[in-house]
Structure 1
Amino acid sequence: MDFRIFTEPQQGADYDDLLRVARAAEDAGYDAFFRSDHYLAMGDVSGEPGPTDAWITLAGLARETSRIRLGTLVTAATFRHPGPLAISVSQVDRMSGGRVELGLGTGWFEAEHLAYGLEFPSLGERFDRFAEQLAVVTGLWETLPGDRFSFSGKHYTVVDSPALPKPVQQPRPPVVIGGRGATRTPALAARYADEFNVPFAAPDLVSTQFERVAAACAEIDRDPGEIVRSIALTVCVGRTDAEVAARALTIGRDEAQVRAEGLAGSPAEAVDRLGRWREQTGISRVYLQLLDLNDLDQIELVATEVVPQLG
């Protein structure tokens, strides 16, 4: 099982905070460091010092790390046009030596769009734009050197693009798609995804989503085994009950709730919970949502006492 650290810097972090966590995750042996792509804090927090742009952050981390994979969970299709997004991700892939992954979704947080002057269309239109962005981004990446790429959609048109720069990873960097949608999301995953992620959901729902993706793959004759199955869980692991309670308090979560819905408790409890998740859902990757970016000790604790028993 792969273990990845997943951060929410819109809640209050600057680049140095993220670099410190990314380096700690790399040193501890985690597979990847991911971050959300948001421009506004959620809940009763100030968000100071303010948002950091996801792809600018990952570009910096690409030059200041050496092994760990880097990506977004997830970039909103409402934030960037697909051509410039393909360029940005390709460039960061080159800067990292081929360690980048793109998580892409429809966008959902209306308040951040209003706060920074971004268009926020209806859900149906956001899905339409999302589908076209997947087609354009992957199409640009997969265009052979010397060839040209064109696309004509309702929302985006690309004409005779040289499709440069090329990413290091060929035919393209991995694409992560996820969510709980019953129809369009699984269909898009079957067509474009290298990984399907179901965040913060009960095992029954996770299994149902994976089954929907597998059915969508069957409809287009794709092997569903080609798609990595992953989940995201809030992490709150401690050596003692008191340590778990203190960590829950620090991140502003009810301890009972995070124990029920996240990955909380002792290392042994975490191993048991993830083992049951793997048996029930077939996951091979887990994103640990680390809400306290100062808690480097928890990164080390999970790496030394949980990961080796499930790797």
Structure 2
Amino acid sequence: MADRLFRFGIVAGRVKDAGRWTALARRAEDLGYATFLAPDTLGTLPPLLALSAAAAATTSIGLGTFVLAAPYRRPEQLAWEVSGMGFLSGGRFELGLGVGRPAAGEDAARLGVPFGTPDQRIRQLEEALRHARKWAGAEPAPRVLIAASGARMLGFAARNADTVALGLPATTTEDGLAEPVRLIKLASDDFDRLELSAGLHVVGNEMPPWLAQQIGGDLPADSIAVLDGTPRQMADRLLRRRDAHQISYITVNAMYADKLASVVELLAGT
């Protein structure tokens, strides 16, 4: 990944019916997005089932979990299902893993599984990765994305992932990217091979109500979660971010798929 070519991914978790789900996956593919991604929450579609349907409806787009919470599944079960997804997608599956977002403990309780301490969850993540790679056998193991925010998880991701997804608050500014990237560099024995990812929450100048409620106010003018302006202006901002912080994989909620498409056309694969 020394060249760090731009990739763009769509995150989608809930639609009104199955037809719209597969249509959305095809739309993402047609618009030039590299990946179609499903979150792991009880308020959205079961990710591996949903991605299986998307795989059957598409031909070239990558399909990924964004991200599976390690405590929810036994490592052996996860490896079995990941292997199946690799087969059903024709090798297009990308495995996104993490130790659980802030509200994941509530979902774990509903699923009847222990959420565990941070140490226990990191060990579960290690086991999940080991089994997934072992299960692949002679077949290529899927590309692995690990979501991370704190220093310990950033270090773990730097040593074990192909892609590190920075799980930073929406209030993070451009300058705020420097420290997590520095920690990744320190922990990695081959930083050039890593792909770094950061997500967008808003494309344009209208903040969705759920985000406004979540942050309880306005975002900084240079928030990394917001991208606004002409397509060229937005593309130039992402180019500057890549130059400064090596971030080349951009993810965005499906509601902004069309708004970001002109930027995808300018930058994808460059």
TM-score where L is the length of structure 1: 0.73
The counterpart of 2:183, out of the listed 183, 187, 212, is 212
The counterpart of 1:289, out of the listed 249, 253, 263, is 253
Distance 2:34 2:251 in 1: 10
Query: How far is the alpha carbon of 1:188 from its aligned partner?
Result: 2.5
Give structure 2 stretches of 5+ with no counterpart.
Answer: 1-5
Query: How far is the alpha carbon of 1:249 from its aligned partner?
Result: 4.5
Mapped pair 1:68 → 2:88: no
Identify the residue that residue 8 of structure 2 maps to in structure 1.
3
Distance 1:192 1:57 in 2: 26
The counterpart of 1:263, out of the listed 210, 226, 236, is 226
Query: How far is the alpha carbon of 1:125 from its aligned partner?
Result: 1.2
Mapped pair 1:174 → 2:143: yes
Deviations 1:105-133 (A, max 9, x none): 11242111222323211222111211222
Q: Which has the higher contact order (CA 8 A, sep 6+)?
A: 2
Conserved 8 A contact 2:158-2:164? no
Deviations 1:25-46 (A, max 9, x none): 1111111111111114xxxxxx
Distance 1:259 1:53 in 2: 35
Secondary structure of the corresponding residue to residue 306 of structure 1: helix
Mapped pair 1:306 → 2:263: yes
Distance 2:26 2:94 in 1: 18
Give structure 1 stretches of 5+ with no counterpart.
Answer: 41-50, 145-165, 238-243, 293-297
Highest CA radius of gyration, 1 or 2?
A: 1
Q: How does 1:151-300 map to 2 (within 5 A)?
A: 166=139, 170=140, 172-183=141-152, 185-201=153-169, 202=172, 203-218=174-189, 223-237=190-204, 244-245=205-206, 248-249=207-208, 253=212, 256-257=218-219, 260-261=222-223, 262-268=225-231, 269-290=233-254, 292=255, 298-300=256-258
Q: How does 1:22-101 map to 2 (within 5 A)?
A: 22-40=25-43, 51-101=44-94
Identify the residue that residue 3 of structure 2 maps to in structure 1.
none
Query: How far is the alpha carbon of 1:253 from its aligned partner?
Result: 3.3
Secondary structure of the corresponding residue to residue 103 of structure 1: strand
Further displaced range: 197-206 or 132-141: 197-206
Conserved 8 A contact 1:31-1:69? yes
TM-score where L is the length of structure 2: 0.83
Is the alpha carbon distance of 1:260 and 1:115 closer, same or farther for their aligned partners in structure 2, counting shifts above 3 Å? farther
Conserved 8 A contact 1:236-1:264? yes
Deviations 1:19-77 (A, max 9, x none): 2321111111111111111114xxxxxxxxxx421001111111111111000111010
The counterpart of 2:129, out of the listed 128, 134, 140, is 134
Distance 1:54 1:249 in 2: 23
Conserved 8 A contact 2:32-2:264? no
Secondary structure of the corresponding residue to residue 273 of structure 1: helix
Conserved 8 A contact 1:267-1:302? no
Distance 1:281 1:33 in 2: 24
**Number of residue equivalences:** 253
